Amino acid sequence: MFLKFFLPLVLVLFACAPLRPLGPVEETPSTVPEQKKEEPPPPTPEPVEPDTAKKQIIEKTIDVGVGFEKRFAVIECPEKKWEFKAGKNSRTEIETKGNCTYAGKTYRGTWIVLSADTGVTIINHLDTEDYLKGVVPHEIGKLNAEGFEALKAQAVAARTYAYIHLGSRKTQGFDVYADTRDQVYNAKNDEDSLVNEAILATSNVVIKYNGNLIEAYYHSTCGGKTESSEVWEKESKPYLAAVLDSTEGGVFCELSRYKRWEEKFSKTELIKLFQKNATNAKADKIFPFSKIERILITEKFPSGRVKRLVVFTDKGSFEVFGDKARWLFQRAGKILPSALFSISQNGNDYIISGSGFGHGIGMCQFGVIARARAGQKFDDILKAYYTGVSVEGY
Ligand SMILES: [Zn+2]
């Protein structure tokens, strides 16, 4: 039973996780929230372009960017096959009953195609609830009935994320990306009947703090304690506080294979990696060196995640901040699973021992699944991860 349920889930989460740090939230640089200041309540300002957001929420539709800078694109609908080429500026709206295919996936909704010299942008326009059907199964995996409350919690978090980001990519001509820069949207290819039921059962339900939609970040595995949004922003949002994800019985997300992890790097390997990764890790100084003398975590966030990591070399020292430390160790395309780690030395090797997967902010998906299986209801689960919020109809 365990293997039957858990292995496929791990595979699904793992498959979608490396870049992301999950959650929608995870992890490409562009998903990192902008450095916006938000006053503590009351009252809180509308987070994202309020006029556009409100208007679109009433409309209940979302524009998802699914293809970019294509020289050539084909959308095949049951009624007609459409072909587009980069070139003169133009905007084409395709009305269809749905079930069009683009780049190997079948989509609900209609289409907007923007052509320009730089390339073709393919936008899928659809009902937000239909969009969620392509997001939730990919983000948390397909669960059995025991996980129904987890699916509901994920549906509400994903809906809240979608609503607050309506209009947020306006300059590109759509609302959200279909990948880890926002939430991974896999069209109809991943749809699942139980997930669809969970979306329907929570129809119109969102998460609010002081009457405003929240930034509902989530991630795969917190490792025991979530992180405050201070990791990304100087002034953290009160509802994205660090919380314990455990009871006397243990850590909720302990079924994750990332509850504990270890990675080993040789000194020679790290010299190469650090020089290669310094830019992506936003190191404060970038210079050539031929020897690493010490690697020190000089400051940690309250959850224990790295706040400041300093590398001493034969040519001087440099440092990286917070979650970006994961990028400093990137090898073969993979960053460290989380910033909740310690470093030890063993001869010529550095051993990184860590917990968790993802940025650690907001809802912990493996924790959500465990809480649902333990009988917690979706709204209580959400309130456990987002401090001081209400779960209510929009
Ligand atoms: Zn957790």
Using the mean position of ligand 1's atoms as its centre, give its distance from the Cα of residue 18 in Å.
17
Q: Could you say which residues of the chain have pLDDT below 70?
A: 1-59, 233-235
pLDDT (0 to 100) of residue 230: 80
Paired tokens of 266: 């040789």
d(CA 275, CA 277): 6
Using the mean position of ligand 1's atoms as its centre, give its distance from the Cα of residue 41 in Å.
27
Using the mean position of ligand 1's atoms as its centre, give its distance from the Cα of residue 201 in Å.
25
Using the mean position of ligand 1's atoms as its centre, give its distance from the Cα of residue 223 in Å.
5
d(CA 57, CA 385): 25
Residue type, 149: E
pLDDT (0 to 100) of residue 41: 32
Using the mean position of ligand 1's atoms as its centre, give its distance from the Cα of residue 318 in Å.
32
pLDDT tens digit sequence for 200-218:
999 999 999 999 999 999 9
pLDDT tens digit sequence for 164-202:
999 989 999 999 999 989 999 999 988 999 999 999 999
Using the mean position of ligand 1's atoms as its centre, give its distance from the Cα of residue 109 in Å.
35
Using the mean position of ligand 1's atoms as its centre, give its distance from the Cα of residue 228 in Å.
13
Q: What is the DSSP string of 196-209?
A: HHHHHHTTTEEEEE
pLDDT (0 to 100) of residue 29: 29
pLDDT (0 to 100) of residue 231: 76
Using the mean position of ligand 1's atoms as its centre, give its distance from the Cα of residue 311 in Å.
29
Q: Does pTM surpass 0.85? A: no
Domain ranges of the chain: 10-36+47-248+361-393, 261-354
Using the mean position of ligand 1's atoms as its centre, give its distance from the Cα of residue 27 in Å.
17
Alpha-carbon dihedral sign for residues 13, 14, 16, 19:
positive
pLDDT tens digit sequence for 249-284:
899 999 999 999 999 999 999 999 999 999 999 999
pLDDT (0 to 100) of residue 59: 59
Paired tokens of 19: 């870049």
Using the mean position of ligand 1's atoms as its centre, give its distance from the Cα of residue 10 in Å.
14
Using the mean position of ligand 1's atoms as its centre, give its distance from the Cα of residue 241 in Å.
14
